[in-house]
Amino acid sequence: MSEAEQDYSAAGEIGQVRTRRTATQRAWLALKKAPFSAWFGMIVIAAYGFVAIFAPLIAPYGESQVFPAPFAPWGGEHVFGTDQIGRDVLTRLIYGARNTIGIALATTLLAFVIGGGLGLVAAINRRWLDQLLSRFVDILMAIPSLIFALMLLSIFGSTITSLVIIIAVLDSTRVFRLTRAVAMNVVVMDYVEAARLRGEGLGWIMRREILPNIMPPLVAEFGLRFCFVFLTIAALSFLGVGIQPPTADWGSMVRDNASLIQFAQYDITAALTPLLPAAAIALLTVAVNFVVDWFLHKTSGLRDEH
């Protein structure tokens, strides 16, 4: 809305001129205004990323190094004790970050390549291809994805490759729907029509006109989908049909040590052992959700930005 009063001249009309800032300056400015929850989320994500990347340097022992004492108590040589066959729990947690997050990230990226690409094409094409893809996605989405994943895993077996592909394909349906929906909102804009009237090709329209305008919701969706994929993989591993031993992973760690929880009255630390990986999962999803929440809030008001 215009603020000051002024006599008329085209150049003097009041527009909202933003101060010219570099991308880094703008990012820093946004970060400074970010609420505590967003900061908390970003710090947690950064910490997880650090642990995941430098896992071999941080971990005290090898990923599947077995020690003589199974279910060793906390403290001493093993900060969080050992698991049911005598592997160091802290080491497994650290390697678990690498495996669990890495696999979830790869899956989400694949889901976005498939779902995002097809969603864009469907939004622009709008004819038989759109109809075909949309109906197919409707049917895939009529089966709960965890159930679908369980069924497919029983057929293809629980290797990491099949896990990544199955979850990515199932999850890409949701990415497809979102991309198609937001892209359709952009496709009907006059500037896309103007580009078509100018004679621009499909590639240019997709890359230059549509993609930049659908990035914010897609980035937010990436965070949410990552959480969902991460939780699905953790759930499958917990059920024993996801990531298989000896690969360290949080979902199966919970399952392996679950029986310890019965001994809470005698040794509370032992009972906490299965909760550690579960809490590690929860903390990361909470962190991502906080950041996404802030990001959504931020970008929804994009047009009024000064």
- Binding to another protein in span 10-69, by CB under 8 A: 10-11, 13-18, 20
Least Å from the CB of residue 84 to another protein: 16
Contacts of residue 246, defined as CB under 8 A and 6 or more positions apart, other chains included, come to 63, 64
- Whose Cβ is closer to another protein: residue 128's or residue 190's? 190
Least Å from the CB of residue 167 to another protein: 14
Least Å from the CB of residue 55 to another protein: 21
Q: Which residue in 156, 181, 207, 246 binds another protein (CB under 8 A)?
A: 156
User: Does the footprint of another protein cover residue 262 (CB under 8 A)?
Assistant: yes
Least Å from the CB of residue 118 to another protein: 18
Least Å from the CB of residue 274 to another protein: 6
How far is 14 from 11, CA to CA, in rounded Å?
A: 8
- Whose Cβ is closer to another protein: residue 43's or residue 69's? 43
User: Does the footprint of another protein cover residue 203 (CB under 8 A)?
Assistant: no
User: Does the footprint of another protein cover residue 227 (CB under 8 A)?
Assistant: yes
Q: Which residue in 226, 290, 294, 295 binds another protein (CB under 8 A)?
A: 290
- Whose Cβ is closer to another protein: residue 49's or residue 201's? 201
Q: Which residue in 171, 209, 249, 256 binds another protein (CB under 8 A)?
A: 209
- Whose Cβ is closer to another protein: residue 24's or residue 304's? 304
Where in 68-127 is the site for another protein (CB under 8 A)?
none
Q: How many residues touch another protein (CB under 8 A)? A: 80
Where in 228-247 is the site for another protein (CB under 8 A)?
231, 234-235, 238-241
Where in 164-193 is the site for another protein (CB under 8 A)?
189-191, 193
